[in-house]
Structure 1
Amino acid sequence: MPVVTSTSSPHGKNRGVSSVEQLLRLVDDELPSAIALRERLHAVPESGFREVRTAELIAAALPAEPRPVAGTGLVSRIGGPRGVLVRAELDGLEIPEETGAPFASTNGHMHACGHDVHSAALVALTRAVHRMRDELPAPFTAVFQPSEERHPSGALALLEEFTEGFDAVVAAHLHPLLAWGSIGVEPGAVNAASDAVEIVLDGVGGHGAYPHLTSDPVLALAQVVVALHTLVGRRVDPTHAAVLTVGKIEAGTSENVIPPRARAWATLRALDADDQATLREAVVSTIEAVARAHGCTATVRFTKSEPPLVNDDSLASLAAALAPAAGLAVAAPWRSCGGDDFAHLHRLGPALMAFVGLRDAPGFRPRPLHHPEFLPPAEAVGAVAWTQAVGYLAGSRR
């Protein structure tokens, strides 16, 4: 349960304290039904832009009929224009679930990143805001976004439909590395610029017993992988965060056949946009040079790109000041090379991504995001809803 204080607002708005108290109490009233909704959402995960059943369940739980947006997304607006946009994600991942939960998915997909919790929490917040609609601290827009995990980006699809700006855009995301009961609301870059990189090497195939008659793209790709993993350490200031990981390799059909083509996929991330640009150029030049040395040709495609996710300084400060009213501690400074297409939504207004701690939460088995056993406890719905409420109230004061 959140702890509601009666101290005066540090920002000089007397209505702020009563808004905090009222909103958090109303959110608490909505949590039982939101927890039940979370279980229903968890059982039917769907991939990006296919979240039909997910959207139906959410729409049925909202206090007023939402309008569709960005394909399978939903928007519920309370109050006038501008105000604060709060976003949650709809999509699951193509991961077979191994949690053993009674509401586990059986369709080969899984909510392994907390999107079921985020969406159920935003439903609770939307219902609470609707109940206090005559005393709103600011207009409120809830957005249930499709396709956060996959390309094309659901956030970019939203930008095509939202022509107006907002005073603030807010999101909350569970994270198992932060302590339970705490939230990370650090100002500045908190998630990295992120590129998905596709690498294709074309050579000359042949018999494995006669490699001198081929241009072996598998050997070239092996050298590419090693070379790429040296780039961050030699092209980026060692005090800056960046990472390059080759996560998938594909080549060949038999052990004694040198194939004509080899492919790989990598993720490239940096907290600084200039570092990301430097690394992009280095990735292309390195791959082309290594391929050429092996008599192969290279094609490099950046198939998905996101900017750094940068928290607005003022919003971060306001959220940190309001967090204790929701019984939430402010985590120590924390940033990550994770990526989120919420970064695109800063075009609509000043942005705040708050990370909600899961470490040592009751009943939570320590598992990373995107793990087949990742399962936040029911109490996480409340933690996310209170954090979303803090973000909304911070945005109303900015």
Structure 2
Amino acid sequence: MHVPRRDGGHRGSATGPPTSGGRWGRPSVNELSRVDGGRPAPVLDKPFKLTVCITQTCNMNCKLCYADCGSAERPELTNAQWKTLIDELVRENFLHVFFEGGEPFQRPDFEDILAYIDRRLYIGVRTHGTLIDAVRARRLKALGVGRLYVDLFGALAEVQDELSGVQGSFKAALAGIRHARASGLKVTILGILSRRNHTHLQSYLDLARELGCDQVGILRLYPLGRAKRNWAELSLSLEEMMDALGGLRVPPGVQLMQSWYPRDGNCCWQNAAVSPTGDSIGCPYLREYVNYGNVLTTPLLETWDHPQWRRLRANDVEASCPECSATQGSHGGCRSTAFAFHGRFTAPDPYCIHTNAGVDLRALPERLLRPGS
């Protein structure tokens, strides 16, 4: 089956002429091993993790949804096409596949796709948790799912229900987490930091301890999808974010993860992502900015050699956080938010306290607010 690429209609889409050594050509040592601040850039000949955006459909209408879930613009990959991609991952020695949506469990054949993996890859699944009952939780454990990542937009019922657009979603998500933990599944609770939850972040950590979850991830709000349209209502200044994170007390047995300083490196060098329709997008948070090709017509690892993707993972940035560079070996922070606020993939990440340079994260650039952007 041939699905045409989106040419011209995808803002900021990555394009470039073929070069020698494969469709896009192999990266040169000079291109990817440049030294910045005395540290060589990380070099991989392939990613070790793939995020599979398995479906665009969802059972909620979340205000923070960066995927703008609803009906897909084009047909989603079929069961057989996803299995072909899984075979490629196994053949190329990928280590980890991470599923998200939409809501993965909205796809009727999702568990069949998990079964096809047959423990050949480590499996993570990001979900709202509301569709996980005791029977499904036991099946997921038997299928070899390594960890569930459950989104809670608020650690209080009224906030979660409002932001998800579904009354009772908080209660249903907690029930899903309890079923998962009872089956032996590891669970990470995810919260997207916004104006609606920044005053009760501690409740995420306390809830994790209560439910037996060993990780809490506090994520940044990305100006994509519905979150972009609701930015004025949801966004915070960087100072407000740092204040909210600074006072947290992490309970014993719970790990706090966050997508800010001092753990906000450029992850493009190690990860890949595929959209529900098969587009190779590098990262789910780059979905509105790049398209490296479609896996129905181009092998995934050929898209890895796309010139734009090579540039993104070459650590060629205008300014980087010295502490993150020293601890992570990757420079410049998130490329999605850098592009969103500056319009350049080489720009510094404005969510880093060392490279913000006065950017007000509550105010989106005019170009992002134009119809169709």
**Largest Rg, 1 or 2:** 1
How does the TM-score come out when normalised to structure 2? 0.30
Structure having the higher strand fraction is 1
Structure having the higher helix fraction is 1
How does the TM-score come out when normalised to structure 1? 0.28
Higher relative contact order, structure no. (Cα contacts within 8 Å, ≥ 6 residues apart)? 1
